[in-house]
Structure 1
Amino acid sequence: MIGIGIDTGGTCTDAVIFDTKSHKVLSQSKTLTTRQDLKVGILRALGGLDQDLARNASYISLSTTLATNACVEHKGGRAKLVFIGVNPQVVKKMGGEYGLPPMGDIYFMKGDAGQPDSLENTPDWQKFEEDIVQDFRDFDSVAIVQMNPKYNDGEYEIKAEQIIKKTLGLPCVRGYDLFQELNVQKRGATALLNARLLPVMEDFFDSIEGSLAELGLDLPIVIVKSDGSIMSREFAMSRPVETLLCGPAASIIGAMELSKYQDALIVDMGGTTSDVAMVKDGIPVTSESGISIGEWKTMVKGVSIDTFALGGDSAVKYKRGQLYLDNRRCVPLCMAASQYPKMRKALKTLVLMDRPFDYPAHEFFMLVSLPTNLDKYTPSERKFIQALEDGPLIYREAAAAIGTSPHVLNMKRLEDEGTVIRIGMTPTDVMHVYGDYTEFDSEASRMGAAYLSAVTKGTPAEVCKEIYDLTKCRLYSNLVRIFMKYETGRDLNLQECEDLEKLTAYIFRHSGQNLADFAIRPVFSTPSKLIGIGAPTKIFLADVAKLLGTEADFPQDGKVANAIGAAMGNISTECVIKIEPYKGIKSSYLTYIISGGHETYSLPDYDDALVEAKKTARQCAIQRSRQQGAVGEVEVEIEVKENTYQRNKYALAEIIETLVIARAISEKE
């Protein structure tokens, strides 16, 4: 079968035509991602493929890091979180551990379905309807999550959605529709993130469909899930959170297809993030507890991927004359200047001044997209947007455009939303100075390095070396952290991460010195091989692999591994049904509660409950496969896990919970 795989990353969009039977790339294309209009970049990537082969394709499969990058960069649509029956003090005590917003940004209302009905516990729907008119007017979507939804099948969530849609017409995400696990705060974080990603995914699919229409291609559209399987466009539109690690998951599949190593750490460095995954015996290590990205902890199941902010487009910042890498992406000077040549004049003027500024004077602001509703912005924000409509403005000019000082200029909200993005010095610019990559305007990169030399009191050559070293050092530090996580079976806490970062920085800085110069020298080494994919990876990973005492493989088609992985996926779904024994407070009568499907019910006999749970799990898995785009026969495997508890060595073990897991595998449409 011939399929088209396309990956839209933060910097580049890759496309391949892949033969799944012969495992060969028949045609490939790479172009820049055009964030202001995704369709432009996608159309270029698809247009760069062999069009005769493209017309013979059976489907188009997508992967993207848009959701991943939105999490890392704190971007996305404006979404409001509603908690029903959740104790505000419990949420406050957790201190945003799951990525939840500040307390004042969450709407709390009564309604714990697990508690007896009472006046103190009944939702006040009239007050809710009155409050949302004022409180929710500046939001694009709403996430609704109730406490103990299994006791009334999410009835309160459904009621709240009806009121919001009737009153405001906003799209809603119901937490119980997404996941049925008990942890309400984690479910809240997952639902809120899903709501924030709705406009991101909508723009992405609109761009794909528009591009296919222009090329005259009528193909079924599927997209990679975080576990490496695929789902239909319709399913992904309602559950964009399932694409959280869509791009990284595709890169793992592609890397395993291309590399000779079966036991390795896969390292994929893109423009915004680096994604790392462990492969054992040719099988990716999976995350059972749910995916975590940055501060977000979710219930999304997927391959165990560690994503951290490091890429070719990581912004180079400075503080008190010292350079450092920011977690956010910015547009490299070389890329922007090739599109807006007038930037060179502003950079040249800055360099001729031969003096550093407290603010990032070498950075520009650029308008990514013009908002459809300007009324929700402040007068300064509207003026700033208007000033950028004619093209990027260097920092000082951008501040002057709204009548403020560059020392106090703050457009954080516009940057967080992705309406405005900065242009600045990046590792990609250093690649252009060194000649490692020369696709764009190298002169702009050299002027950026010249300005930073005034900041650091060093030469431009020293500035470039420092930026490369900062990139390699962060990569080295994170790979050591990830190896330690797999070795210990747990994530390092904040203090441990800070200590490790200091130690790895020390090791990296002194790695070129003679061993005789040390009384004792700390060393981290690993027997695991490294697989490097992604355009900038080879530049930085080779030295890091040497420092770790191992080898790195850089597959020939590694630069389009994500698109290859997207083209190879199959539909795979899982449904978990839970059986729990329950004894009433005033009765010794034992019954078994069955939950996790569309409704919660109980049966008095365990064997009968197990039969029904298997039946429900099978039906649920098949239904989800159909929703994700499966056609034809669906194969289902059933697994039963009984969790028991033994009071003492003399007592019989009691079943406290039974999990019935149905896994369905099928081919895409």
Structure 2
Amino acid sequence: MGLQLGLDTGGTYTDAVLVDDDKQVLASAKSLTTHGNLIEGLRGAVAGVVSPGNARQIDLVSLSTTLATNALVEGRGRPIALVLIGFSAEQIQRANLSQALAGDPHVFLAGGHKADAQAAAPLALSALREFIDRVDPQVDAYAVSAMFAVRNPAHEIEAQALISELTGKPVTCGHHLSSGLDAPRRALTAVLNARLIPLIGALLHAARELLLEYRIEAPLMVVKGDGSLISDEMAQSHPVETILSGPAASVVGARFLCNEADLLVADMGGTTTDIALIRGGQPRLNPDGATVGGWRTMVRAVDVRTYGLGGDSAITFDRASRRFTVGKQRVVPLSLLTLQYPDLLADLDAQLSLPYSTTHCAQFVMVHACSPSRFELSTQQRELFERIREHPVAVQSLFSDQTLERALTRLEQRGLVLRAGFTPSDASHLLGLQQDWQVEGAVLGARLLLRYSADNLGITYSDEQAFASAMSRLVAVETAMVLMDALADSQGNTLTESQRSLLKAGMDIGPDQLLSLQARLHLPIIALGAPAKSYYPAACELLASRLISSELAHVANALGAVVGTIRQEQRIAITPDGGKRVSVLFPSGPESFDCLEEGVAAAGRVCEHLAREKAREAGGVEVTVTLDRHDTIVNKGDQSVFFESRITATAVGRPSRTG
């Protein structure tokens, strides 16, 4: 019997899961992700599930990752050069293309095509040669995008050939990444892809090295943003396809774990909650392409909605409403902080010995980045950083000197320091729902906050247990709200602030509450992530929805990576060519046919062939292809005029398990 190894390299942890041919999970393990040397994190996770005895039985390895997503969010990537063919200078301002370049070199060349696939001008190859000679020492890769290249890619192909010949460096062409119109967004997607090639290449190199160590002779697959799989070679040349790979894998894993055709998948981490909708057994895809880090790409990806709500969200008292709120800011839980720095318990005790609690009680600040050398800091900012670097400091002690407030804010904005405070995870420790860290730190923090609430005419609590129960209920209500918001948004509706306030007030039942509301969510919910078990039972009760639990929810990403399938699409457009004639816009260039039906038949044959070849290139076997035709007819008075036909071939197969 064969075995399959699923891996997920996330920002914090790397997961591994081993399954057999019957998709039964045999073992799972976690290890910290080692960003400086990715193979170490992979090695730590794999060691927990693979042994010399079973390594040779492994016939498939599949990998999901959030590294590409994180890199785009954090603005990281290698220097590239962008070649724009047939573009105007004004177009670079669209789709945030200028911001994405961030000062990297680019050039506007004559050339490109028109909507009818005919050349707008000859390609300026001599100008391209001059550009390459000037910028090549500064860049690691190139991106090429030409106007209407999806209708005729000839100029992108010519430019790619010349760049490869002169430099030998990776070249990304826009028409390889998307068949959709919108030249600036296609150029943006090409830029991001070129930047990510070295990053994803490093991860794939680490994975291949690890397979050699274990003598695992199996294909290596990678999860795309839409949840399907591609070969490691395709992922290395098209790394932008892996944005949202991690959330997509968790959706596929969740679908496998619960075997429900229709459900909401909610993945709650320390900082955020990701929510996706599955209907008819398939995750909903974003029709506009994935948006990550503010960049609107043309990458086909799972429609995931992300909310700033997690186990490490800051719980603070709002003096205006005289209520506690759960904010979007991530802080270090007091229970974790005092586990790492036990002497801070004395600081919390000292704050309790004061006659009252201050605005910044139960808050600390600690170093988040080891070195501020790449930032220009003022003398005061640098002195404050050095003070905090030695040991976490109570925020209220800093603010006895009001001049330090601005300096601290600046250090936080630059990601050099991080606050610690009371969080949902602390409430879970107080209630015995979580037992990983130091409960005494959570107890002292709760006492300070409940006293602060009473001092400021807020709700009074009998003890820290009552306070923790109220905070747990608050997080459950917020969780129910984001679930409703995500579902409404997926249906094209947006909850207004007044609607949110009414719904929240109706669910947040208290002793003085005059209104209660019962919402009903007509979908089951599967909750993933460590904090989810503390809050989703109550949230699902508020929504009268069924909660699905699984012992393997903590490795859903790695499981989703190994149970996915191959899926590739090919599209060909057909446009009018005078009279009854039509022009079929093949990837190799346009061809004219006498009538629409002849063009459709030819387009269907080529489309099916290319989709099947793409699926095989992606590592698929036993490939089946389905064809879809969509005609666009424009009505002019009492006449119907043919505008365009689009033929789509979808190829689906299983990943190859031959070495």
- The interval holding the TM-score normalised by the smaller chain is 0.7 to 0.9
The aligned counterpart of 2:482 is 478
Question: Per the alignment, do residues 529 and 638 of structure 1 end up closer, same or farther by CA in structure 2, a change over 3 Å counting?
Answer: closer
Q: Could you tell me how far 1:434 is from its partner in structure 2?
A: 3.1
The aligned counterpart of 1:251 is 250
The aligned counterpart of 2:305 is 306
Q: Which amino acid aligns with 1:254?
A: G
Question: Per the alignment, do residues 110 and 652 of structure 1 end up closer, same or farther by CA in structure 2, a change over 3 Å counting?
Answer: same
The aligned counterpart of 2:583 is 592
Q: How far apart, in 2, do the equivalents of 1:490 and 1:581 lie?
A: 34
Once the two structures are superposed, residues 232-258 of structure 1 have per-residue CA deviations (whole angstroms, 9 ceiling, x without a partner) of 222212222222232222223322322
Q: Secondary structure at the match of 1:363?
A: strand
Question: Per the alignment, do residues 319 and 171 of structure 1 end up closer, same or farther by CA in structure 2, a change over 3 Å counting?
Answer: farther
The aligned counterpart of 1:149 is 149
Q: Could you tell me how far 1:480 is from its partner in structure 2?
A: 0.9
Q: How far apart, in 2, do the equivalents of 1:66 and 1:483 lie?
A: 27
- Equivalences for 1:447-526 in 2 at 5 Å? 464-465=468-469, 468-486=472-490, 489-490=491-492, 492=494, 496-510=495-509, 512=510, 517-518=514-515, 521-526=516-521
Question: Per the alignment, do residues 360 and 643 of structure 1 end up closer, same or farther by CA in structure 2, a change over 3 Å counting?
Answer: farther
- Equivalences for 1:27-176 in 2 at 5 Å? 27-34=27-34, 38-49=38-49, 51=51, 52-70=53-71, 73-77=73-77, 82=82, 84=84, 85-87=86-88, 89=90, 101=99, 109=108, 111=110, 113-114=112-113, 143-150=143-150, 153=153, 155=155, 159=159, 173-176=172-175
The aligned counterpart of 1:609 is 599
Once the two structures are superposed, residues 586-615 of structure 1 have per-residue CA deviations (whole angstroms, 9 ceiling, x without a partner) of xx79440414x3x32222334553344234
Q: Could you tell me how far 1:20 is from its partner in structure 2?
A: 3.0
Q: How far apart, in 1, do the equivalents of 2:123 and 2:567 lie?
A: 44
Q: Does the Cα contact within 8 Å between 1:4 and 1:54 map onto a contact in 2?
A: no
Superposition RMSD in Å: 4.7
Q: How far apart, in 2, do the equivalents of 1:148 and 1:127 lie?
A: 24
Question: Per the alignment, do residues 379 and 215 of structure 1 end up closer, same or farther by CA in structure 2, a change over 3 Å counting?
Answer: farther
Question: Per the alignment, do residues 358 and 105 of structure 1 end up closer, same or farther by CA in structure 2, a change over 3 Å counting?
Answer: farther
Question: Does 2:554 align with 1:576?
Answer: no
Percent identity between the aligned chains? 25
Q: Does the Cα contact within 8 Å between 2:362 and 2:448 map onto a contact in 1?
A: no
The aligned counterpart of 2:618 is 628
Question: Per the alignment, do residues 498 and 289 of structure 1 end up closer, same or farther by CA in structure 2, a change over 3 Å counting?
Answer: same
Question: Does 2:235 align with 1:236?
Answer: yes
The aligned counterpart of 1:224 is 223
Q: Secondary structure at the match of 2:343?
A: helix
Q: How far apart, in 2, do the equivalents of 1:330 and 1:123 lie?
A: 55
Q: Which amino acid aligns with 2:525?
A: L
Question: Does 2:630 align with 1:645?
Answer: no
Q: How far apart, in 1, do the equivalents of 2:163 and 2:142 lie?
A: 12
Matched pairs, number: 629
Q: Which amino acid aligns with 1:427?
A: P
The aligned counterpart of 1:654 is 642
Q: How far apart, in 1, do the equivalents of 2:4 and 2:217 lie?
A: 13
Q: Secondary structure at the match of 2:63?
A: strand
Q: Does the Cα contact within 8 Å between 1:250 and 1:561 map onto a contact in 2?
A: yes
- Equivalences for 1:189-228 in 2 at 5 Å? 189-198=188-197, 200-209=199-208, 211-212=210-211, 215=214, 217-228=216-227
Q: Which amino acid aligns with 1:601?
A: P
Q: Could you tell me how far 1:644 is from its partner in structure 2?
A: 3.0
- Equivalences for 1:233-382 in 2 at 5 Å? 233-259=232-258, 261-293=260-292, 295-314=294-313, 325=326, 327=328, 332=333, 334=335, 341=340, 343-345=341-343, 348-349=346-347, 352-353=350-351, 356=358, 362-367=364-369, 378=376
Once the two structures are superposed, residues 167-192 of structure 1 have per-residue CA deviations (whole angstroms, 9 ceiling, x without a partner) of 9x986543232112112243244334
Q: How far apart, in 2, do the equivalents of 1:422 and 1:35 lie?
A: 20
Q: Could you tell me how far 1:225 is from its partner in structure 2?
A: 1.7
Question: Does 2:528 align with 1:529?
Answer: no
In structure 1, runs of 5+ residues without a counterpart are none
Once the two structures are superposed, residues 77-106 of structure 1 have per-residue CA deviations (whole angstroms, 9 ceiling, x without a partner) of 3666847354565675x7x6x798389868
Once the two structures are superposed, residues 464-510 of structure 1 have per-residue CA deviations (whole angstroms, 9 ceiling, x without a partner) of 45653453333222211222234xx4253xxx454444344333333
Q: How far apart, in 2, do the equivalents of 1:607 and 1:43 lie?
A: 56
The aligned counterpart of 1:665 is 653
Q: Does the Cα contact within 8 Å between 1:27 and 1:49 map onto a contact in 2?
A: yes
Q: Does the Cα contact within 8 Å between 1:17 and 1:49 map onto a contact in 2?
A: yes
Q: How far apart, in 1, do the equivalents of 2:188 and 2:407 lie?
A: 33
Q: TM-score, normalising length from structure 1? A: 0.77
Q: Which amino acid aligns with 1:622?
A: R
Q: Which amino acid aligns with 1:644?
A: T
Once the two structures are superposed, residues 398-443 of structure 1 have per-residue CA deviations (whole angstroms, 9 ceiling, x without a partner) of x99xxx945324357864xxxx674634433443343322234445
Q: Could you tell me how far 1:3 is from its partner in structure 2?
A: 0.6
Q: How far apart, in 2, do the equivalents of 1:424 and 1:209 lie?
A: 39
Q: How far apart, in 2, do the equivalents of 1:411 and 1:445 lie?
A: 26
- Which of the residues 434, 437, 447 maps onto 1:437? 434
Q: Does the Cα contact within 8 Å between 2:604 and 2:647 map onto a contact in 1?
A: no
Q: Secondary structure at the match of 1:477?
A: helix
Q: Could you tell me how far 1:625 is from its partner in structure 2?
A: 2.4
- Equivalences for 1:410-449 in 2 at 5 Å? 410-411=410-411, 415=415, 422=418, 424-425=420-421, 426-443=423-440, 445=442
Q: Which amino acid aligns with 1:526?
A: L
Q: Secondary structure at the match of 2:265?
A: strand
